[in-house]
Amino acid sequence: MLKFILAAILTLMPAPSPKWGESQAEFRARMALVAQAIDTAVTGNIRPVQQRQAAMAVVVKFWGESRYSPLVQNGDHRGDGGRAICMGSIHQEKMSTGDWLALAGTDLGSTTRCATETVLRLKRSWFYCNGLNPKASWPEAMVLYGTGRTCRSSESRWRSIFDDQTQKWVRLTTTRLVLPAEPEAIAEE
């Protein structure tokens, strides 16, 4: 599933922002690490039948919360007025300060901790929303994850954002994704 996750990330974010000072090769290596972290988090916490859908929910949430910025990943930039850390925009609730701060970092360990906490919170959201409505799935879980209060995008002031995330999730889960060639391989052709 690792190549599938990387292909999904690169579909949403094919190149780094020029503001990051990252080459395409450095960006791709960092995204490969992010894909590995997501794969580890999902396979360790989600039933096999739901892993692809859950992985795409994390890919979309990371994109929506951070645009895969290394400044968000390493904790230099925090969301929600400084209350949210790492690409999953995790609030400290029920975590020690040390555990919460350990979610930030561009290394595999920190990124895996961030991905795991994101997966666990999405999974709880999935169970809550599915308990209210058996037709609810990962898009509704992403809404609850983002709002903390509702599973329905129509009940949120950020409806357009959640509807966009749902469209991205649907596209990633229903399209055959292909991993783009390495920049060096393209240059050699």
Q: What is the mean pLDDT of residues 26-42?
A: 98
What pLDDT does residue 162 have?
96
Q: Give the rounded percent of residues in the chain with a pLDDT score beyond 70.
A: 96
**Is the per-residue pLDDT at 16 higher than 80?**
yes
**Is the per-residue pLDDT at 178 higher than 90?**
no
What is the C-alpha radius of gyration for the chain, rounded to an integer number of angstroms?
16
Q: Where are the alpha helices (DSSP H) in 46-78?
A: 51-66, 70-73
Q: Give the rounded percent of residues in the chain with a pLDDT score beyond 90.
A: 90
* Cα 14 → chain centroid: 15
Sequence-separated contacts (24+) of 175-178 with Cβ below 8 Å: 177/4, 177/7, 177/8, 177/11, 178/7
What pLDDT does residue 176 have?
87
**Is the per-residue pLDDT at 189 higher than 90?**
no
pTM: 0.93
**Is the per-residue pLDDT at 29 higher than 80?**
yes
Of 45 and 178, the structure prediction assigns the larger pLDDT to: 45
What pLDDT does residue 179 have?
79
**Is the per-residue pLDDT at 152 higher than 60?**
yes
Give, as one character, the DSSP assignment of residue 182: P
* pLDDT band, residue 183 (cuts 50/70/90): low
**Is the per-residue pLDDT at 187 higher than 70?**
no
What pLDDT does residue 173 have?
95
* Cα 132 → chain centroid: 24
* Mean confidence (pLDDT) of the chain: 94
Least confident of 17-21, 62-66, 148-152, 178-182: 178-182
Q: What is the mean pLDDT of residues 93-114?
A: 97
